[in-house]
A = this chain, B = another copy of it.
Amino acid sequence: MASFETISEQRCFGGVQGFYRMASGECGLPMRFAAYQPPQAANGPVPVLYFLAGLTCTEETFVIKAGAQRMAAELGLMLVCPDTSPRDTGIEGAADDWEFGEGAGFYVDADQPPFSRHFRMYSHVAAELPALVEESFPAAEGRAGIFGHSMGGHGALVVGLRNPKRFRSISAFAPIVAPSRVPWGMKAFPRYLGPQREAWLAYDACELVRREAVDSTILVDQGEQDQFLARQLRPELFEEACANAGQSLVLRRHAGYDHSYYFIQSFVEDHLRHHAGILHA
C-alpha cells in the first residue's frame, strides 16, 4: 500500500473535501494533495478528474476558489488536486522566484542538478498520484480526466496527450500551450531540462499534439482580458497545431475575462460537464 495520511476532511455538498499528505518516491519528499469525494463515492467507484494549478498556487487554490464541488457532487466526479511542486526542498534559492522552483514545477521531470533531486512533478502527477488514488480512494478504473490552469493548463495538456489511456478527457483554462517558445518556459526549462531544445519538446503541447493527437475533443477556455494572453499563453499556436494535426479542439475566447479564478469559476461547470460526458460514457 502507498503511504499517505489525512490532514483534514470536511463535509461539502454531501461529499467530503479532504487534504492529504503522501510519501512521494518521485519527489523524495512528502507531497500534499486534495481530494473531493462526491456523495456517489459512498456507494462505489466514481470517475476521477485531476486539476493542475498554476504558478504560486498550491493544492488548496482550486479547492477554495473555483466553486467546483457543487457540480462534482451533481455529476458524481471525484476531484483531485496535487501541489504545484515539491516544498521545503532545501535547494538554495528554490523558494525565491515565483516563476521558477517551489510553486513553479512546470509538471516536468527535471534532469538537471540540483533540481533533478526533487522536481519530478511529471511522474508525480502522471503516474504516482493516480496510482495512490486508484489504490486508496473509490476511483473507477480507466475513468480519469485531467484539466488545469495556466502552468497547470500546460501540465494538463502535456500529461493528457502523453497518457491517453490513463487520462481519457482533457481541458484547460488559459494554458501555456507552447512553453518552449514563451518567456515562462524559456526561463524554467533550461534549468530543469538543460539547454537542448529537443528535451523541452516532450513538455510542449503544441509539439506533442503533432505527435500524439487524442480521440476526445480538448476544451480550452481563454479570457480576452488575460494579462498574459499575448506574451505567455498564445492560444492561437495551439489552435493552429491542432488544426494541422487533426486534433479536435473547442477553443472559446471570452470577452472581458482575465486570468483569475473569477474567470475559472465562471466556466468550471462547462469543464466538469465536458469531462463527465466522456468519463461517464
Of the residues B67, B256, B257, B258, contact of A67 by C-beta under 8 Å? B67
User: Does A266 contact B64, Cβ atoms closer than 8 Å?
Assistant: no
- Give the distance in Å from the alpha carbon of A67 to the alpha carbon of B70 in the complex: 9
- Give the distance in Å from the alpha carbon of A263 to the alpha carbon of B167 in the complex: 31
A4 close to chain B: CB less than 8 A: no
Prevailing SS type, chain A contact patch: mixed
Query: What 1/0 mask marks residues of chain A from 111 to 151 whose CB sits below 8 Å from any chain B CB?
Result: 00000000000000000000000000000000000000000
Interface size band for A: 20 to 34
Residues of B within 8 A of A261 (CB): 64
- Nearest residue (CB) in B for A70 is B67
CB-contacts of A48-75 with B (<8 A): 64-65, 67, 69-70
**Which residue of A254, A258, A266, A269 has the most chain B CB atoms within 10 A of its CB atom?**
A266
Of the residues B67, B258, B260, contact of A265 by C-beta under 8 Å? B67
Residues of B within 8 A of A171 (CB): none
- Give the distance in Å from the alpha carbon of A120 to the alpha carbon of B265 in the complex: 35
A10 close to chain B: CB less than 8 A: yes
A262 close to chain B: CB less than 8 A: yes
A14 close to chain B: CB less than 8 A: yes
A229 close to chain B: CB less than 8 A: no
Q: Known contacts A64-B64, A64-B65, A65-B64: does B70 contact A265 (CB below 8 Å)?
A: yes
A175 close to chain B: CB less than 8 A: no
A12 close to chain B: CB less than 8 A: yes
Query: What 1/0 mask marks residues of chain A from 22 to 64 whose CB sits below 8 Å from any chain B CB?
Result: 0000000000000000000000000000000000000000001
Instruction: Please list the 3 inter-chain residue pairs (A to B) with the smallest Cβ-Cβ separation, ordered nearest first.
Output: A67-B67, A12-B262, A11-B256
Residues of B within 8 A of A269 (CB): 70
CB-contacts of A241-270 with B (<8 A): 254, 256-258, 260-263, 265-266, 269
User: Does A225 contact B262, Cβ atoms closer than 8 Å?
Assistant: no
User: Does B14 contact A266, Cβ atoms closer than 8 Å?
Assistant: yes
Q: Known contacts A64-B64, A258-B10, A260-B10: does B223 contact A265 (CB below 8 Å)?
A: no
- Give the distance in Å from the alpha carbon of A65 to the alpha carbon of B261 in the complex: 11
Query: What 1/0 mask marks residues of chain A from 11 to 25 whose CB sits below 8 Å from any chain B CB?
Result: 111100100000000
- Nearest residue (CB) in B for A14 is B266
Residues of B within 8 A of A260 (CB): 10
